[in-house]
Copies of this chain bind each other. A is one copy, B any other.
Amino acid sequence: MNLKEANFKLKIILVEPRGPLNVGSVARLCSNFNVDQLRIVSPKCDIYSLETKKMALKGIKFIEECTIYESLIDAISDCNLVLATCGRIHSPKEYEQDSLENISTWIRNFKEVKNLAILFGREDRGLSNKELLMANKVFTVNTHKNFPSLNLSHAVSIVLYELSKITKVDDILKKKALDFASPKYIEDSFLEIENLLLKTGYLLPHTLNTKISKFKKYIHRSETSKHELDILRGIIHQINWALENKNKI
């Protein structure tokens, strides 16, 4: 199987990986499954080391062509669907998680996804809550509850295997268009929303994160389109204008 036949271009994004063996293994897996691109956010090891190369074998071209980013939001700026992996032990309790299987079935529903990003967090503590909120959905690979923690590269292998079962051709007539606001667009919109809510006193700086998290989760869960988000932004702009021009209304 071959991810180039799927209804998306797959970008594998590692966030702050520490293990050169892991990075090399992931590069090899990228070539095994014909991934489109490997991206790394702030690597915490030498990704050009001999150890990495030894594990990468023919996948070395994914290291050579790898783009390195300083922040996750930059790494996903051109991605229209972003999925984050989350091990059970790292999962914030209140987080709704899907299984890899369900996620894979869900992706099949769309005609074309264009750039699909899958985020993999740090070996020891996964992705932060803030990073998880940049994803449309969060999912987990189900493992034994007493020893749930998969090694990073093994998690990648399982995800690539499951996604490689998806092909463009199956049931094309039943498919719908993917029409979500991109995670980057949502992040940008929330900067405006946060400012307004701080200004009106609905949010206080020290409780901002907790309150805004719930709102962001709602936006993701509702599979909000760009058009719907633009309506929300229009309202924000109008309220902002009204607040600044109280004398005129």
Contacts and interface: CB of A to CB of B under 8 A. Distances in A.
A149 B58 CA distance: 10
A29 B154 contact: yes
A93 B142 CA distance: 36
Contacts of A150: 29, 32, 157
B151 A33 contact: no
Given A101-B165, A142-B1, A154-B157, A59 B25 contact: no
Contacts of A162: 161
A118 to B, nearest CB: 15
In the complex this chain forms, how many copies of it are found?
Answer: 2
Contacts of A206: none
A114 B48 CA distance: 47
A21 interface: yes
13 contacts: A1-B142, A2-B145, A21-B21, A25-B151, A29-B154, A31-B144, A31-B147, A33-B144, A34-B146, A34-B147, A55-B151, A58-B147, A59-B147
7 closest A-B pairs by CB = A31-B147, A154-B157, A34-B144, A1-B142, A158-B161, A32-B143, A2-B144
Q: Determine which residue in A3, A144, A146 has the highest number of CB atoms from chain B within 10 A of its CB, and name it.
A: A144
A87 to B, nearest CB: 10
Contacts of A225: none
A143 B157 CA distance: 11
Interface residues of A, number: 35
Contacts of A92: none
Contacts of A29: 150, 154
A239 B28 CA distance: 55
A141 interface: yes
Interface in A1-22: 1-3, 21
Contacts of A147: 28, 31-32, 34, 58-59
A2 B88 CA distance: 14
A53 to B, nearest CB: 14
Interface in A30-86: 31-34, 55, 57-59
Given A2-B145, A144-B34, A157-B157, A28 B165 contact: no
A148 interface: yes
Nearest to A101: B165
Contact of A164 (B2, B142, B153): B142
